Amino acid sequence: MLEGIFTAIFTLAVIVAILFAAWWFTKKVASGSSFSSPQSRYMKIIDRIPLAQDRFIVLVQVEEKVYMAGVTASQITLLAELDKEPEMLQAQPLTTAPDVNFRELFQKVRGRRNNGK
C-alpha cells in the first residue's frame, strides 16, 4: 500500500518536472529567435513593421548608415540605403485628423449623385 503511494508521488513529480522543463525550453527558444535578442556592438535594429506572417520590413543601423531591408523566412533583400538619422526616422508628433462636418460631406455626395442622373 505504502509502496503504491510513493510510486504515484514519484510519477507525479516526474510529470511536473517534464512540464517545467518543456516550459523553460520553450521560453528560451522563443526569446532567442526574437529580433531584439542578442545585442550587437555594430548593428542596431531601429524599427520593423510586419507585412504578413514571417515577412517584415526592417530598418537596421550599421555605424553611420541606415539600411531598409525586406525580410522573409528564406531571404533578406536590401531595399534602400539611407543616411544616418534621416528626418523621417526622427520622432514626429502624431497629428489628429481634421474635423469633418459629415452633414456637408453627405450633401456633397448626394448632390453629385443627383447631378449625375
Contact 72, 54 (CB under 8 A): yes
Contact between 78 and 69 (Cβ < 8 Å): yes
Structure-model confidence comparison of residues 41 and 75, the more confident one: 75
**Structure confidence by residue, pLDDT tens digits, 81-91:** 887 655 555 55
3-state class (DSSP) for residue 43: strand
Report the C-alpha dihedral over residues 25, 31, 33, 35, rounded to 10 degrees.
180
Write out pLDDT tens, residues 92-102: 555 666 676 77
